[in-house]
């Protein structure tokens, strides 16, 4: 036999089949794969610019620019100087609603804007304009936070307070945001950006914001419209509607203080 060693101690002779199999294993088949091409400079720049931390930096820069713009233009002058005389009617209402939304994104307090809406447009139209600006500003802040900040901030949710807030907004977004809007205490901009970082949907967020903002916004709009007569029943009722939800929020927070400490 050619493929067996001789019993007398001779050298082994490999069979032709074994030799062919060894050659097939030893020599890898030729491939047509080309070597990996490193990404181009433009691709690397695009990857860096679209990274989560770059987008978060852009969000911080936009918010800082908006805050600086508010400090320069001083929107609170609307309460003392009034609306520009060249604007009136529906155009003035639309411009004010857009300006209201942009100002809320730039951290202008909503009570100030609500008072200005009532003083400039009256109770009813002022309420409609303020609500439109509220929903617009909340939507802008939510979309900015979701697009530019969520990917970078979600991995940082490590504290118990942050995890509890994220879980509540993610699982019960509509009713949680409705409660936040009804009972003052959480700043408007803070609620917007917290919701954007969570997994809450945009539509429930806007719906809860619009419905939950009606009572407080109406009270401020009436107070702004009747500010010239501070002893009128409408003005006093508006002040009561502003103070009672704030007092209720303080009472609820006081009763829940032990649960908050355990978080």
pLDDT of residue 23: 45
Q: How far is CA 153 from the centre of its chain?
A: 11
Task: Name the DSSP class of 149.
Answer: T
Q: Which helix (H) or strand (E) is 161 found in, with range?
A: helix 160-171
pLDDT of residue 4: 45
Report the chain's C-alpha Rg in angstroms.
33
What average pLDDT score do residues 198-211 get?
92
- Please give the residue that has the higher pLDDT: either 175 or 82: 175
pLDDT of residue 5: 47
- Please give the residue that has the higher pLDDT: either 88 or 176: 176
What average pLDDT score do residues 29-36 get?
54
- Model-level pTM? 0.72
Q: CB count, 10 Å around CB of 237?
A: 14
Instruction: Tell me which residue of 27, 7, 23 sits closest to 15, measured CA to CA.
Output: 23
Residue % of the chain over a pLDDT of 90: 25
Q: What is the pLDDT of residues 234-244, one digit of tens each?
A: 999 998 988 88
pLDDT band at 170 (very low <50, low <70, confident <90, very high): confident
Instruction: Tell me which residue of 175, 169, 125, 174 sits closest to 150, measured CA to CA.
Output: 169
pLDDT at 99 over 80: yes
pLDDT of residue 36: 58
How far is residue 58's CA from residue 49's CA, in Å, rounded to a whole number? 10
pLDDT of residue 34: 53
Instruction: Tell me which residue of 154, 143, 144 sits closest to 59, measured CA to CA.
Output: 144
Q: Which residues of 117-144 are buried (b: 16+ CB within 10 A; e: fewer)?
A: bbbbbbbebbbbbbbbbbbbbbbebbeb
pLDDT band at 101 (very low <50, low <70, confident <90, very high): very high
Average pLDDT, the chain: 77
pLDDT band at 156 (very low <50, low <70, confident <90, very high): low
How wide is the angle at C-alpha 47 spanned by C-alphas 43 and 51, nearest 5°? 170
pLDDT of residue 6: 44
pLDDT at 8 over 70: no
How wide is the angle at C-alpha 235 spanned by C-alphas 231 and 238, nearest 5°? 145
Q: What is the pLDDT of residues 117-142, one digit of tens each?
A: 998 899 999 999 999 999 999 999 99
Of 82-86, 140-144, 228-232, the range with the lowest mean pLDDT is 82-86
How far is residue 75's CA from residue 98's CA, in Å, rounded to a whole number? 13
How far is residue 81's CA from residue 119's CA, in Å, rounded to a whole number? 11
């Amino acid at each position: 036999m050619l493929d067996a060693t001789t019993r007398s101690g001779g050298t082994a002779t490999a069979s032709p089949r074994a030799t062919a199999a060894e050659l097939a294993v030893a020599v890898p088949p030729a491939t047509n794969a080309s070597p990996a091409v490193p990404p181009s400079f433009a691709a690397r720049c695009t990857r860096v610019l679209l990274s989560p931390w770059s987008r978060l930096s852009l969000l911080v820069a936009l918010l800082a620019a908006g805050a600086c713009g508010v400090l320069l233009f001083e929107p609170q002058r609307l309460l003392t100087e009034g609306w520009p005389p060249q604007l009136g009617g529906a155009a003035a209402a639309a411009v004010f609603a857009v300006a209201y939304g942009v100002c809320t994104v730039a951290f202008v307090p909503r009570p100030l804007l609500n008072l200005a809406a009532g003083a400039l447009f009256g109770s009813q139209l002022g309420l409609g304009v303020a609500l439109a600006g509220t929903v617009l500003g909340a939507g802008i802040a939510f979309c900015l936070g979701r697009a530019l900040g969520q990917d970078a901030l979600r991995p940082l949710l490590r504290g118990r307070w942050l995890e509890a807030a994220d879980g509540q907004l993610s699982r019960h977004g509509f009713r949680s945001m409705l409660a936040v809007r009804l009972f003052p205490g959480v700043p408007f901009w803070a609620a917007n950006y917290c919701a954007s970082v969570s997994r809450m949907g945009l539509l429930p967020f806007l719906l809860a914001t619009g419905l939950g903002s009606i009572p407080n916004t109406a009270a401020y709009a009436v107070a702004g419209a009747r500010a010239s007569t501070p002893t009128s029943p409408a003005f006093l009722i508006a002040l009561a509607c502003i103070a009672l939800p704030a007092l209720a929020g303080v009472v609820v927070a006081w009763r829940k203080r032990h649960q908050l400490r355990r978080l």
